[in-house]
Amino acid sequence: MKKIALFFTVASLMYGCGKAPITGRKQLLLFPESTMESMALTEYQTFLTSNKVVSQTTSKDADMVKRVGQRIAAAVTNYMNQQGNGASVSNYKWEFNLVDSKEVNAWCMPGGKVVVYTGLLPVTQNETALAVVMGHEIAHAIAQHGNERMSQQAALQGIQVAGAVALGKNPAAVNLFNQAIGVGGNVGILAFSRTDEMEADHLGIIFMALAGYNPQEAIPFWQRMAAMSANTSKPPEFLSTHPSDERRIQALQGLMPEAMKYYKPVGKS
């Protein structure tokens, strides 16, 4: 335990200088984000080849997913540049795909690799509610929550990631990455903490507002998700690690005045 504690302390001093955007929450980030993005790209491409991707040229829904994603990505990139944090997203190569699946789920890998499942669309019901979901998932990537969760686990397990040991060359770290993004059937599913989920809610409604989507749509959307969870024995995968309970909706209501400050409807000056 002493060795693990020492590792955690040394690693924190060397690499743990991250801060989440907007909230300013301090983070332990041990892994090179560029390497995580590279590994995520490989896994993302593997996922797409083994699942049914809906064509964006023939499907209005797939085109909507791409349109919403591009709007939010552009708005977030512009915001990060204005805040002097553009370097953190400069290497993002955004991709947005709709996958034919009954799962009520969506996710975003490091580097901006996004997937939405068709099973989610009957719950979102409209483009703005889809922006709620995509803003939330993009927020996880922008705030580097995957890196943070992996870093915490690496520190607890005493996995060496400092110095010359790169993520892609360390079997223990690679295994940790694979677990984090769900390699082996559950790609993109990472058990984020309650703190991360609430932070993604916070950032997500601001990101959608920056893109010209009304953040107030978040309330009825999460109410629909909560109702779905209450009416089924097994909650949707999208809710498995972040249940949509009354406290969550209350928190969003409390954040709404802040989010509305960023909201400017498209086409209005």
| Domain boundaries, given as residue ranges, for the chain | 33-144+190-261
The list of the chain residues with pLDDT below 50 reads: 1-15, 162-165, 183-185, 188-190, 269
What's the number of CA atoms in the CB half-sphere (13 Å) around residue 90?
A: 7
Burial of 233 (0-12, 13-18, 19+ CB in 10 A): exposed
Q: Point out the residues that are catalytic.
A: 137
CA-nearest of 233, 248, 130, 157 to 199 is 248
Q: What is the pTM of this model?
A: 0.85
CA-nearest of 123, 139, 132 to 229 is 123
Task: Give me the pLDDT at residue 3, please.
Answer: 46
Question: DSSP string of 47-72?
Answer: HHHTS-BPPTTT-HHHHHHHHHHHHH
CA-nearest of 85, 203, 72, 65 to 140 is 203
Task: Give me the pLDDT at residue 165, please.
Answer: 41
CA-nearest of 59, 65, 64 to 138 is 65
Task: Give me the pLDDT at residue 163, please.
Answer: 39
Neighbours of 54 (CB within 10 A): 18
pLDDT, tens only, 231-264 = 766 566 556 555 556 788 999 999 999 999 999 9
Task: Give the Cα-Cα-Cα angle 63, 101, 183 (nearest 5 degrees).
Answer: 105
Task: Give me the pLDDT at residue 57, please.
Answer: 92
